Amino acid sequence: MSTYEDLKKTLTLDPIEVNLFRGHSPDSARGRIFGGQVIGQALAAAYQTVKGLTCHSLHCYFIRPGDPKAPVLYQVERARDGKSFATRRVAAIQHGEQIFNLAASFQITEDGFEHQFAMPDVPSPEALEDDFKERYSQRTPEQQLWFAARPMEIRPAGTFNPGGGPEKSGRYSWIRTKSDLGGDEGFNQAVLAYVSDAGILEAAMRPHNLMFQTPGLQSASLDHAMWFHRPVKMNDWHLYVQESPSASGARGFTRGMIYSKAGALVASVAQEGLMRFRDPMIEG
């Protein structure tokens, strides 16, 4: 997925019937479907069934690995349409089975109380370089594919240790798309949801000196949640702050905060992922 058109194609679904849509993976996809792809596509499917409202939160579960060679069907349930809020549930289906599900809530635009955590003080993106080749060339095939795709620029801005653990678990990264996505808030949110899954589980690995490519390590996203606080325009630089407060029970818990370059907190992320060494006696 090397261009804006490829990214738009991936996040644009084919309508099949009322509340039923079909999505496709990039032609170059291998292995299993990148988790951010089904998040973004499911959100795009939900957006097809609402008018005049904006997503403020989503919660989803990864159930089975996705097959990038088969289309994904997205079935939307219109759980509720109220005066201020609407709720949608989306099931992603392949080969007759759910591989993923999402619940999303949408709201009319309203004014209200305002506060937020301040954005950390980090080097500006202009002072940094995109070091894809050094940092990401050894990832798993599906992760390497996403990072090699190049619709996004990612410029790491340093690490930090939020919990006092043995290693620096947190990371700052500047992210943006290389092309202007226009003013469609739903599409910009879908792209942000797409990229929000990229590398966040690494924050739980660092205290244990692990990486995705560590021999014998089994890792996968289990669930993912996002809250959209303010409008987002993804061709502008955004700072993605990732950290891991805890790991236990073969699961790593991570969270993220995404700021605009001007310092506005536009979204928050939370994810739990599988993180264990492979055991032939354990079925995932």
Q: Which residues are catalytic?
A: 197, 221, 271
Task: Say which residue the tokens 């989803």 belong to.
Answer: 60
Backbone angles phi, psi at 241, to 5 degrees: -100, 120
Amino acid at 79: A
Vertex 60 angle, CA 168 and 13, to 5°: 115
Do the strands 54-62 and 72-81 form a parallel or antiparallel pair, or are they unpaired? unpaired
On whether the CB atoms of residues 203 and 253 are closer than 8 A, the answer is no
Per the CB < 8 A criterion, the answer to whether 267 and 240 are in contact is no
First to last CA, the chain: 29
Structure tokens at 248: 């236990």
- The first and second tokens of residue 195, run together, are 């990229």
- Tally of CB atoms within 10 A around 72: 24
